[in-house]
Structure 1
Amino acid sequence: MSYQYATSYSTSKDEKPLTKMWQRLVRQSQYDAKGKPRTRLAILRRRLLTIPTAVFLLCFFVLLWGERSSFSSSIDACKWDKWETWPSDAQPHRIALIADPQLVDPHTYPGRPWPLSSLTIAATDKYIKRSYYLLQRQIDPDTTLFLGDLFDGGREWSTHFEGFQASEKQWKKYGDKYWLNEYNRFGKIFFAQDQVTGGLPAHKVKKFVASLPGNHDLGFGNGVQVPVRNRYQAYFGEGDRIDIVGNHTFVSIDAVSLSAMGQPDSSPELWNSTMQFLDNAQHLKHKAVRAELNEHQGLISHKRWAHEVTSPLDLGRQSTKEELAKELKPEFPTILLSHVPLYRPEGTPCGPLREKFPPTKPDLKHDKPNAIRIAGGYQYQNVLTQELSTTVAEKIGNIGHAFSGDDHDYCEVLHPDYASRHNRGIREITVKSISWAMGVRKPGFQLVSLWNPVDTNGESLRDGPTLQTHLCLLPDQLSIFIRYGILAAFSIIALAMNTLVQVRNEEAAASLTATHTLPTSEPSKSTSKSRSRAPSGATNSMSSSEHSNSNSTLSARTNNARTRSVSPAMGYGLPTARPGASLIEKAGYYGNNPEYQMYNKEEVFDESDDWGNPIFRKPPRPKVPKTFRRKLVDRFGRDFAWAGGPAFVLYYWLLTRG
């Protein structure tokens, strides 16, 4: 019994190979091994339930997790309502602290070749940009403060200001134009409209302060160059400033320039401005608080410049000591912002949230691995000196909390020996870096919630704490890349094993078909009877006759059938071959030569010249059967393209779409 396909396929020599391949794939998918047609469900199952499809689906879910779900879940775990403990009627002011973005540039990995260096820059920028976007979208802080080290090599790039000297020859080619490009790059990540609003319509006024410099922005101590600092302040503002946020006073100091005080060969020009700011810090705090209270009570117009006539004598008039003594001195809780942490004794533990070296035992008073190392080097110092820390605390006064950066890892310390609010000590938190290229596997940022209801004189109406804080951790990007690598290796192994099994099965099926060839049709009853009645001697002749006359089978063409029956009138046709004729008489005849047989086909002689002679054309090159290795390569290439092609397109789309 034989099975015939319902669809016929052309075998024309002009048919394209891709069309033949597509028809073969359709035929294989629509019919099973026995030739029976498949149902639509079976066809769908055959096309989809394959190893390449399973590999693509696995890549799809892993990429979706690594580029979307891991970030969203990390940010979602930090939402305010999951850790704030204010009363139900509280209206806190919410702040996000960003430390050490330290955008990767040629200074970060000077020996890293292209294109690895460019890929590193692109990967770190994408990580920070995506994290910051989700921070503004899902957490939506009212104020965002940066704690320095906005750039990595900002102190090295030359400037148009006079007096700049490059630290090394390799940085001389990076000039002021390069720094401006880095500034624009920083703005696209943090200050672009979509980044500020998180892709949502603007619904409230937000405040962003990024003027606090770090040692990678300016240098440290006597390594700070005035032209570099002037450029930074021209674009980001003064490093020494006071901001009233959420009925709290934020005091920012340029700690890297202040650290030049007391160092050998340091110019007073570096630290004079910060010391003058500290000398007037308490007066400036009171002034800022009074202005804030007057604005709350509607006593100060919101116009920046009032149109009024003022006497020149009033402009130069200063308050006397008696008038200053009579003035109210309202004060909000003070929060110190410094890029460099305050001094603490060697081995002071940083607490259980430190990533690099968790505490060996709980409640230890001395844990050197868990602490910030008290050391310094070229253009850096891990903490301020003890003298400067004491000076800062005394001159500012009433400090309850301090936030710093520089260390890249989390550290929480209580300083009991410095002047502080109600003499309870200064609780300092060193904020984690937001970049995954700064030596921490899980970057992060700090969330601060402020609620301090006050009366008309600025006195707090709350007995308990007015500040709550929470560490928000971001995904481990290096771990995500490692999982991508494992997924790629697993996918290649799975596709290779599937290819090997499929090709072996096809080889086995082909060999089985070659050894057990089924007849193309069943013999008719009349033919069977005639064969049974025929004499034994005539069996061969009758069989050949019946075989040639059968309509359901094909028969080989004879030499007479191949010979043209019509020749030109003048007799210029090919001579008919005769047995025993001389070689001259057989000109153009090659007998049973295989090459002649290859040319002596009907499709080869389908054209003739004006004399009736056939036109010989080069026959098609015979198909060389594919080797086992070639079949493996072709099959693996198709499976890899089916699984890996869409996966690469998906990954590119996820990267470019934020």
Structure 2
Amino acid sequence: MGSVRVKVESESGEEIALGASQTTNKMQSLNFETPSTWHPKVSASWVLTKVNSFSLLRSIYLVLIRGKINFLLPFVPLTIMLHYLPEKHGWIFFFSLLGITPLAERLGYATEQLSFYTGPTVGGLLNATFGNATEMIISMYALKNGMIRVIQLSLLGSILSNMLLVLGCAFFCGGIHHRKVQMFTKETALVNSGLLLMAVMGLLFPAVLHFTHTELHQGKSELSLSRFSSCIMLVAYSCYLFFQLKSQKHLYSPLDEAGYSNEEEDAENIEEAEISRLEALAWLAIFTLLIFVLSGYLVDALQGASESMNVPVAFISVILLPLVGNAAEHASAIMFAVKDKLDITIGVAIGSSTQISMFVIPFCVIVGWFMGESMDLNFQLFETAVLFITVLVVAFMLQLNAVEDPSNYVKVLVIADPQLMDRTSLPLAPKSLALEMAQFYTDLNMRRAYILSMLPFNPVVILFLGDYFDGGVFLSDEDWQDSLSRFKHIFNLNMAQRISNTKVYYLSGNHDIGYAAVNSQKPDVIKRYETEFGARNFKVTLGKVDFIAVDSQTLDGNLQSDLTLATWNFIRNVSKDINSTPRVLLTHIPLYRPDWSPCGPHRSSLIINQTVVLSGHDHDQCTVTHKSKDGPVREQTLGTVSWQQGNLYPSFMLLSAKNSTSNGTTPDDAILTLLCFLPMQTHIFIWYLSLFAITLVFAFLGPANEVLILHKLSALIGCLRNLFNFSSFVNSMKEKNEDDNCEYEEIWDAEGSMHLIKKASKATPKPSDERNSMERGNAVMRSVARKQTTPENDVSIHVESDVKLPTRSNRSKGRMIILRLLRTLRVLSIVAAINVPLYVLLVFKDWIDK
């Protein structure tokens, strides 16, 4: 077998190249045996015949042989043969079910191949349409035979099966395969849920009309209401198709795991169709015809199969028929979920339920109207209630887990005042072990918080609000570069920018460039900062929101200074740009309240017409809404992300900037913020110290021998068991005392044997009891005897007062204390030998892992 690219010369002398791009089935190459003697003048028709015959054989192999449940396909001809045998209703029904199952699955495969040429939205609609071909055909046959109840139960079972079984299995298999959170658009779930609720209303009203006995004409009013509702439902479903395929097509674009449209990723991982468009259409027609034939056999044999197998018709209609009819949806939904295409999965499962409820059921009502059958929407009270509850639960779960189209927002992570420790932070010698350990653990805590708590939100932009190094202004170039490398390692900046193309913006702080009086005297500090972090004043647009960063340190400087003058010129230029775009003002030092006050009064307003102000500097969280002539201004001061800087509750902010704005969008809608708090580190230290103290106390004060510890534990368990059994012990003692104090009768029977019978308490015997007591045969009543108790001997032990117990010497006490200390050290050594290597490995992983 060889891979051949065929070139054929036409009659006009042109060369015709036949390859992968020219074949209708888009194969990568033509794999057929190359003749040993290839004639240069082979006709084009001969080559095309060979190509088409090979394509047909390949298509037959892919469709009829490679399927996983194609071993059931022989039941199709067996059912057709068995249909001509008399009185075989049970076997015909059983073989029809087995034959329809692979046909429905292969119908889904052909639909999937056709979806490669139509796109995901139309592909999902085609899956739902041809997947419901079985239900439609069975319903038409049943309607022709007047089996209206079978139609209602089978369609109801199909809806429930799609919404619960098919969708649940698809989500489960997709989650097991990918082991991640899979995304689907909220708009898709919202539209399908709304249509399902509308369908439930259409089924609910006729049932309510019937069971409340408020219809004017018995049996006719609900039928008229059903036909009118069916027409409305068909029109609504047609509008939904137009909405899905034409007017709002963009709402049905698939999402990636971060919640964004993955069209570029899909373009890189395109899956080629295995069969051509014409072949897919041909197989669709063949399988639909076979399902049409077997469905007729199945409906004809249904009643006889119910009687022969002793199975109710309701069970067959609700359970068995939907399982067979939904085989295509089940296979397609799971397949698309495994491929991480949950939008198509919902389009198949929920879309199929929507199509049955909004199209198949009303269509059956309209067809029954023309056929003279009284097919209505009254599915009885219990069935309608089950459908109503199911739709509510599924709609609630879809709305709860769906994502609002994240492509409309830009996710921004805001971090304030990391302020890495250095030689200026603590009165410790530079490069000392204590300083190195303090730096390492504070850096490790921030790195863990960043990787485990911040990065999982998949931010597109990271925004730092200044104060990166504690002694940034006063550090030498060598120390500054060392702090810079630590800073980049903690926040994984090089990796974030290189792998995920995350954009990072930096705002200058007073610890980075100093206040106006300092930075004007140190131009090298400004140059060093701008070389690494960029401009101090800048404007960037994220989505439809303008972020304006202002160097607040230079605002209180000399107006003739170059730095101060540059900042004010930047503010004036930004203020000239008058538009309705929402703005976020970024300043390191809070400008709307006095320094060092947690929430001070409104002091002054800047020229910039901002909507939100974000600042840091204070290391504490504060949110204040100020009044201005242009509306309220929300000022949010972020706390430091480092617990070492005095804030016991470190925090960071998640901000969403809207990508598109409409006429009704307010600035508050365009900018969404959420302040997130990290775990309190001191609580963690207190918890570990408490456990350490309890371990020491138990190791020191516990029994000196491990065997004694077991004895003590067993004694404690025994005491607890006796405590729980105390109530039963009291009850038993009470019964014993009653037995001791009660009176007994001596009864002699005819054989001369004596029996003691408890005498009844003070209750007066009834006349019937007296008569019964007189009829005891030869029994003779004797005198009444009371059980006497014998006094117990006093066995108490009297201790003489002049007897002295031996006391432990001071030497033995000291020896016991030494032994307990040694045992405590041994316990601590064992604990350290187990935990220290594990802790070192975890620390190494957290610090090194990228």
User: TM class by shorter-chain length?
Assistant: 0.3 to 0.5
TM-score (norm 2): 0.37
Higher relative contact order, structure no. (Cα contacts within 8 Å, ≥ 6 residues apart): 1
Larger fraction in helix: 2
TM-score (norm 1): 0.47
